[in-house]
Structure 1
């Protein structure tokens, strides 16, 4: 019987807590230590998680606790330093997206992790979702025929959303919907359609220079010169809507609001499409990888490749 995988979590915001809950659903993984610079968050987590050690200094956590895996769930500008310290200890890593706060930081993280030979994974959950995998399966089977265009639309009544009210998600340095949401679909585009080349990006920026973009219109190209268009707006009327659509010579296919798939052939109406079965997950694949089994993980290279495109979209 394989030993239990001891997990340490750095960052106890909404996403960190969500993954702690996910780890608890797997008997093979055990969250044994948590860390956050906010003492009240640490105390709240350790009070409801029996036997979990709490820290406000991540170096103390990785030095004092026997860890197999560290999940980094802090704001992007802190990923680089924390990841390098974890890598130096030889501990495997699951990292939030975007990988880092610059292309240079992302590359160093990727290179150091590869040199050390540690298992590395990005939290790109769409790769394990029924909706995204139904979309990919139908594209691979030729549902749309010859691809003509891909479009990503991101519309937000407000940014940050009501459940994301913190300084860094709203900041031009680390946040904005291009980074926070766009990264998932850039990675999906690279996964499904191959390399992506940014051509032009027009950002709508507010007068407050610390605040993130409120609009983007970008032209990119896929392999073979196929257009990929990104249209994003925040601070607008209506409901949040995210659509990722492929147009082809035989049909149209969309992934809507992360999970729903709809499509139609030429001459037909657009209708909902039944999902493929999906029993796999990020954590189950991490367990496989750490037990030496074949696993589907999207590593720091996937994070780096997405970040190269993202930083060009942000004109950085």
Structure 2
């Protein structure tokens, strides 16, 4: 059976995932929705799909059995509840929502509707992250002593991210945009985080997102986890996820470079070209067929949101 997909939101990420659905042999993009007539026309010319400016009209199409939502975060909750009410299986962009209460309601509604629900966290499907995780789980670095995530940006927003919300305090900033990926990866490896203490530096303009932050939290066993971020600095963008053990360390740098160290030896970079070890679309199809699948559920997304809001000082 071919899965017919409806896409709501045609920004850069939305189109990237749309292309994954187009390329997969068991999925077909049947319709797209966006507020921009220009974006709709461009996608229609490229893929010959039905277009909508009102997502509620698209949800009336009974042939669509999976919806991908890729609009800015503050619109997730309202649209999501309509998607769930329409009993459509559902892939949502991260973060799940724009508050803990919204995320909780979305997770509960999806579970009660008994639909396949997932969030687009692409790192979980990559060979780099899976190899990183294996080194920790297999005990290669010994007992974990600390986890550190660093996020440094020359400018924020980046040059390719110019839109009307990514720099806003209401729903933008790199804590919201980049942070959820790393919260999710930490919790995927180690379980839920607790006891979050966060100190955020904001500019004087109350509409603008953070300039920097430092946060400490703990794994369930009390091990310290540090998050540290800074933007608008004289340095090339650098993002690091590093785990320190009593035998060695393992680190992912800039999303795709895997390295590790042992004892007092210099770190070794592993010759691993980042690619998908698992296919998100394939996993969605498997779940819709009742098979076991690797998906980050809305419930897991709620746990990410809980930490995210604490980092922002909203919890």
TM-score bracket, normalised by the shorter chain, equals: over 0.9
Specify whether residues 278 and 47 from structure 1 end up closer, same or farther in structure 2 by C-alpha distance, changes over 3 A only.
Answer: closer
How many Å apart are 1:278 and its aligned residue? 5.3
Write out aligned runs for 1:1-316 (5 A).
3-50=1-48, 52-64=49-61, 66-275=63-272, 279-316=277-314
Specify whether residues 145 and 283 from structure 1 end up closer, same or farther in structure 2 by C-alpha distance, changes over 3 A only.
Answer: same
Whether the aligned pair in 1 keeps the contact of 2:196 and 2:307 (CA below 8 Å) is no
Specify whether residues 171 and 91 from structure 1 end up closer, same or farther in structure 2 by C-alpha distance, changes over 3 A only.
Answer: same
Specify whether residues 277 and 207 from structure 1 end up closer, same or farther in structure 2 by C-alpha distance, changes over 3 A only.
Answer: closer
Cα distance in 2 for partners of 1:145, 1:253 equals 11
Cα distance in 2 for partners of 1:78, 1:189 equals 26
TM-score by length of 1: 0.97
Whether the aligned pair in 2 keeps the contact of 1:99 and 1:307 (CA below 8 Å) is yes
How many Å apart are 1:198 and its aligned residue? 3.7
Note the residue ranges of structure 1 that are not aligned, 5 or more in a row. none
Q: Aligned with 2:283: secondary structure? A: helix
How many Å apart are 1:274 and its aligned residue? 4.3
Cα distance in 1 for partners of 2:168, 2:154 equals 17
Whether the aligned pair in 2 keeps the contact of 1:126 and 1:132 (CA below 8 Å) is yes
Note the residue ranges of structure 2 that are not aligned, 5 or more in a row. none
TM-score by length of 2: 0.97
CA RMSD of aligned residues (A): 1.2
Cα distance in 2 for partners of 1:121, 1:263 equals 31
How many Å apart are 1:199 and its aligned residue? 3.2
Whether the aligned pair in 1 keeps the contact of 2:126 and 2:275 (CA below 8 Å) is no
Q: Aligned with 1:239: secondary structure? A: coil
Number of aligned residue pairs: give it: 313
1:81-116 deviations in whole A, cap 9, x for unaligned? 111101111100000000001100100000010001
1:95-152 deviations in whole A, cap 9, x for unaligned? 0000001100100000010001000000011110011111001111112101100000
Cα distance in 2 for partners of 1:173, 1:131 equals 32
Cα distance in 1 for partners of 2:110, 2:249 equals 40
